[in-house]
Structure 1
C-alpha cells in the first residue's frame, strides 16, 4: 500500500469515526455514514440490512440504489432472500467478501424492474460488536466486479466502527427506555395507590390494574390472567388503548404449562409470538405480528394459599429493549401485589368499622330499649295480677294482659334484632349459623350444600341476613316449625334457597305491599350484592325464597 493510499485510508476511518459520533439516532447515523463512506471510497450505491436472532432482516438504510432496486417501494430490498443474507444466517459470514453476482439485481433484470446502472456485483461486510452479529453492509459501483483485499480490509474496519456505534446507541437507547419505564412506574404506583380506595372487590381491582397500565405504558396489549381451579382465564385486558372485558376462555394445555412455569420461577419470562398471540385471541382480538411480536409474563402472588395471577404484556416488533421492559415488569408485579394487599387491608378495616358500629348499636339497644321493654313486661304482669285478684274482674285487666303480651313479643323481636346486629357462629359456616339461629327461633332447619368454593365475606354476610329474615317469616307466617335451606355454589354464582311447607300465600316480590318491609329489605340486600331475589308462594303448598348472587373470580 502506497503512503498516499494509507493516508487516504486513515482519513476515511477518521471521517467515519467523526460522523458516527454526530447523532444518537440509528437511522440518521446510518444514512449519514453510508453517504460519507460512498463519497470517500468513490462508490455509488450502498445499503444496510439489520438481521435479528431469528434471521428476519430489514433494509434500514440505503443510498444511491439503482431504479431496478427501487421498484414498487423498494420491494427487492424487502422481500426474498440472497446469498449474503443466507450466509449470515448460517453463521458462515465472518469477514468482508466479494459477491460474484447479486441475486436481487439478477431478479430485477429477469423481471425487468428497471435500470441497474450497470451494477452486477457488490461487497458484503458483516456488522458486529464483539461476538454479537448485527447485520450486513453492502456497497457497489457500476461495472465494478471485484474489490481488492485492501478495499475489503477498509470496509471491514469501517464495519467494525459502525457495529460498535450501533451497540453504543442500543445501550444508550436501552438506558433511556429503562429510565422512562421507571419514571412511569412511579406515576403508575401513585395512581394505583389512589385507586385502591375506590375498589370494592378484587374484580374492580383487576380492572384498575389493567386500565392504569394501558394509560401509563405504551405496550399495545396488557392482560391480567387469573388462575381458577387450576386453569387460567383472562380477567381484564387493555388492547391498543381500549379496555376490554373478555369472555371466559381457557388457554391451551401447553400455554397453561408455560404460565405455571412463570409462577414457579417467580420472575418475568419471555413469551414467543405464538404464545402472546394465543393470549390476545382469548380477548377476541388478533393483532398483526408487527403490533404484537413477542411478550412478557410476570407472576403476581397473592396472600391466600393457591391464589395467583399472571400479568401479561405484549411487545411490538419495534421494541428492541426487552431486558428493560422485563425488569420493569418485575417491579410492576411487586407494586401490584402490594396494592392488592392494601385492598385486603382496606376491606378488613371497613368490615371492622361496620362491626364496631353494629356492636355499639347492639349495646345501646340492649342497655336502653331492651331494658325498658323488659321493665314494661314486668310492670304489665304485676298490674295484671293485681287487677285479676279482685272479686270482680276489672275492665282494665284484659288490656293489661294485651300490654304484657305485646311487650313480651316486642322484647323477643328486640333480642332477635340485637342478635342480628351481633352475628355469632359464622366462623363455623353460613349454613351452620343459620341452622343454629333457626333452632333459637323454635324451627327445625335442614341444610344442603353443593360446591366447594369459598364465599367472599360481604356475600356470606348478606346471605346470612337474608336467611335470618326468611326464617323469621317462616316462624311468624308459615304456621310450621321446619324449614329447608340450600346453598349451590358454581364458578360464577351462588344460589341460596329457603323453603317451607307452610300455608303460603306470600306476595311476589314485584307486587310487594308497603307493609312488607322484611321482604323489601331482603330484596334490597340481594340487589346490593349485584343479585336478584325470587319469591314463589302457593296457598297450602308453602313458600320458596331464591337468591342468586354473582361471584367474583375466586383466585384474584
Structure 2
C-alpha cells in the first residue's frame, strides 16, 4: 500500500467520522454519510439497508440509483430478496465482499424497468458491532466489477463507524423514548389517583384507566381483559386514541392460549404472532376481524395482579410495525399495571370502608333507639299497666294523671323517632345540602344562621359526608350545647369544601392533645368521615366558650354530580 493511498484512507475515515457525529437524525445522517463516502472514494452509486429483528428491511439511504431501480417508487429496493440479503439473514455475511452480479440490477434489466446506466456489480458490507447487526452497505461504480482487498478493508472500517453511529443514535432515541414514556406515566399516575367511588366504582375505574391510557400514551391499540375462570372477558379497548366497545363475550382459554400464558408470565412479554381477532370488533357485517389482527405484528402484554394474589387480568398494547415496542414500553407497561392494581385495591378498601360506615350507622341508630325510644315505649307500657290497676280501684284522678304522662311520653318518643328517621334522609335534601342542614337544625329547636359561598355542585360522596358531619354536629349542639344559636358556614373552594359549625353553648373540656376529655363516639365518627375522603377534621372548644367543628373535604377535578343550591 502506497503512502499516498494510506493518507487518502485516513482522510476518508476522518471525513466519515466527522459526518457521523453531526446529527442524531438517523435517516439524514446515513444519507449524508453515504454521499460523503461516494465523494471521497470516487464511487458512483450506493444504498444502505437497515434490517429489523424479524429480518424485515428498509432502504433508508440511496445515492445515484439508475432509472431501472427508481421504477414504481423504488419497488425493487423495497421488496424481494437478493444474494447479499440472503447471506445477511443466514449470518453468512460477516465481512466486506465483492458481489459478482447484483440481482436487483439484473431484475431491472430483464424486467425492462429502465436504464441501469452500466451498473452491474457492487461491494457489500455488513453494518455491525461485534455480534450486533444493523444492516447492509452496498456501493459501486459503472464498469467496476471488482474491489481490491485495500478497498474492501476501507469499506469495512467505514461500515464499522456507521454501525457505531447507528447504535449511538438508537440508544439516544431509546433514552428519549424512555424519558417521554415515564413523563407520560407520571401524568397518567396523577390522573388515575382520582379514583372513582360508588357502587360501580370497579367498572368505572377500568373504563377510566383505558381512557387515560389512550389520552397519555401513543400506543395505537390497547386492551384490558379480566380473567374469569377458564375464560377472559374484554373490559376496555382503545384504538387510534378512541375508546371502542369490546366484544360482549367471553374468550375461552382454548381460543387464546397465549392470553393464559400472558396472565401467568412475570412482567411484560412481547409477542410476534398473537391472534388479536378475538379482541377486535368487526368493521362491518362482511369483514372478519382477523384482517384487523394482521395489522398488529408487535404485541406486548403484562399481567395485572390485585391484592397480591394470582393474575386477575391482562393489559395489552400493540403497534402495526414489527419490533415497534421496546424495553422502555415494557417497563412503563409494568408500572401502569401496578398503578391500576393499587387503584383497584383502593376502590376495594373504599367499598369495605363504606360498608363498615353503614354498619356503624345502623349500630348507632340501634343504640339510640334502645336508649331513647325503646325506654320511652317501655315506660308507656308500664304506665298503661298502672292505669289499668287504678281504674279497677276507681282511682280516676290518679289514672287521668298517668294517662297524661303516657301522652307526654308518646309525644317524646314520636319526636325522637322522627329525629332518627330524618338522620337517614331528611326532607328538603332535594333542595340542596344547605337548606337540608338549616331545616334539620330547626327541627332540633336550633336557631341556625346559614351562610354558603362558592358553587355548591358537590359530588354525591362529598355531599353525603358533609351532611352526616353536619347532622352529628347539630345533634351535639342541640343535646349538649345549652344554647339554641348556631352558625353554619359551607364554603366551596376550587380544591375543597369546608363545613364550619359553631355553637355558643357550654363547650367541651379538651385534653392537652386537643381531644375531648371523655370519649365521644359522634366526634370520632365525624373525624373518620372526613379523613376517609382524604380530608381533615378540627374541633375547637373550651368550657363556657362554645364549640367549633370544622371539616374540610378535598375536591378532585374529575368529580361531578351532587346537588346545586337553588
1:298–1:330 CA contact under 8 A, matched in 2: yes
Distance 1:337 1:21 in 2: 45
Deviates more, 1:280-289 or 1:227-236: 280-289
Quick one: distance in 2 between partners of 1:364 and 1:281?
Answer: 57
1:468-519, Cα deviation, whole Å (9 max, x unpaired): xxxxxxxxxxxxxxxxxxxxxxxxxxxxxxxxxxxxxxxxxxxxxxxxxxxx
Query: Among residues 348, 353, 366, which one is paired with 2:370 in the alignment?
Result: 366
Contact 1:289–1:316 (CA under 8 A) maintained in structure 2? no
SS, match of residue 195 in structure 1: coil
Aligned residues: 413
Cα 1:16–1:320 change in 2 (3 A) is farther
Q: Is the 8 A contact 1:276 1:295 kept in 2?
A: no
Which of 375-384 and 116-125 deviates more? Answer: 375-384
Structure 1 residues not aligned, in runs of 5+: 422-556
1:117 and 1:142 in contact (8 A); partners too = yes
In structure 1, how many angstroms separate the alpha carbons of the residues matched to 2:86 and 2:46?
A: 19
Note if contact 1:302-1:340 (Cα within 8 Å) is conserved in structure 2.
yes
Cα 1:28–1:260 change in 2 (3 A) is same
SS in 2 for 1:194: coil
Distance 1:280 1:270, change over 3 A: farther
Change in Cα spacing, 1:252 to 1:64, as seen in structure 2 (3 Å) is farther
Give, in whole Å, the separation in 1 of the partners of 2:324 and 2:39.
31
TM-score where L is the length of structure 2? 0.65
Secondary structure at the aligned position of 1:70 is classed as helix
1:310: which partner in 2? 314
Helix, strand or coil at the partner of 1:274: coil
Find the counterpart in structure 2 of residue 88 from structure 1. Answer: 88
> Would you say the 8 A contact 1:95–1:156 is kept in 2?
yes
SS at match of 1:158: helix
Quote how far apart the aligned CAs of 1:367 are.
2.6
> Quick one: structure 1 residues 263 and 274, their matched pair in 2 at CA, closer, same or farther if it must change by over 3 Å?
closer
- Structure-to-structure mapping, 1:288-327, within 5 angstroms: 292-303=296-307, 308-317=312-321, 320=324, 322-327=326-331
For residues 251 and 389 of structure 2, the distance between their equivalents in structure 1, rounded to whole angstroms, comes to 78
Task: Please give the secondary structure, in 2, of the residue aligned with 1:115.
Answer: coil
Render the CA deviation track for 1:56-104: whole Å, top value 9, x for unaligned: 1111111111111111111111121111111111121111122222121
CA distance in 2, matches of 1:173, 1:329: 19
Of 336, 339, 348 in structure 2, the residue corresponding to residue 335 of structure 1 is 339
Aligned to 1:30: 30
Which residue is equivalent to 1:133? 133
- Could you say which residue in structure 2 is the equivalent of 1:547? none
1:395-433 CA deviation, whole Å, 9 max, x = no partner? x9xx99xx9xx99xx9xx99xx9xx99xxxxxxxxxxxx
Structure 1 pair 189–168 and aligned structure 2 pair: CA distance change class (3 A): same
CA distance in 1, matches of 2:67, 2:189: 54
Q: Secondary structure at the match of 1:144?
A: coil
- Contact 1:246/1:282, CA 8 A, preserved across alignment: no
- Quote the residue 1:212 is aligned against: 212
On the 8 A contact 2:48/2:61 being kept in 1, the answer is: yes
Q: Is the 8 A contact 2:299 2:325 kept in 1?
A: no
Residues 1:234 and 1:124: Cα distance change in structure 2 (over 3 Å):
same
Does structure 1 residue 375 correspond to structure 2 residue 379?
Answer: yes
The answer to whether structure 1 residue 19 and structure 2 residue 19 are counterparts is: yes
C-alpha RMSD of matched pairs (Å) = 3.7
Deviation per CA, 1:212-246: give whole Å up to 9, x if none.
11111111111111011221121111111111231
Q: Secondary structure at the match of 2:337?
A: helix
The match for 2:235 is 235
Any residues of structure 2 matched to 1:107-146 within 5 Å, and which? Answer: 107-146=107-146
The alpha-carbon deviation at position 356 of structure 1 amounts to: 2.4
Query: Deviation of residue 265 (structure 1)?
Result: 3.4
Could you tell me how far apart the structure 1 residues matched to 2:111 and 2:69 are? Answer: 11
Residue 381 of structure 1, CA deviation: 4.9
Provide the secondary structure at the position in 2 that maps to 1:179: helix
**CA distance, structure 2, for counterparts of residue 50 and residue 90 of structure 1:** 16
Q: Return the offset for 1:12.
A: 0.5
CA distance in 1 between partners of 2:335 and 2:308 (Å): 21
In 2, distance between residues paired with 1:300 and 1:50?
36
Aligned to 1:469: none
CA contact (8 A) 1:199 1:343 kept: no
Matched-pair contact (CA < 8 Å) for 1:45–1:140: yes
Q: Secondary structure at the match of 1:91?
A: coil
How far did residue 181 of structure 1 move?
1.3
- The answer for the alignment partner of 2:201 in structure 1 is 201
Do the aligned partners of residues 221 and 252 (structure 1) sit closer, same or farther apart at CA in structure 2, a change above 3 Å counting?
same
Which residue does 2:98 correspond to in 1?
Answer: 98
CA distance in 2, matches of 1:289, 1:98: 42
Task: Name the CA distance, whole Å, in 2 between partners of 1:240 and 1:312.
Answer: 14
SS of the residue corresponding to residue 342 of structure 1 reads helix
**For the Cα contact (< 8 Å) 1:98–1:147, is it kept in 2?**
yes
Residue aligning to 1:52: 52
Would you say the 8 A contact 2:298–2:323 is kept in 1? no
- Give the stretch that moved more between structures: 106-115 or 286-295: 286-295
Shift of 1:256: 4.4
List aligned pairs for 1:72-471, cutoff 5 A: 72-197=72-197, 200-251=200-251, 253=253, 256-276=256-276, 278-280=278-280, 292-303=296-307, 308-317=312-321, 320=324, 322-383=326-387, 386-387=390-391
SS at match of 1:317: coil
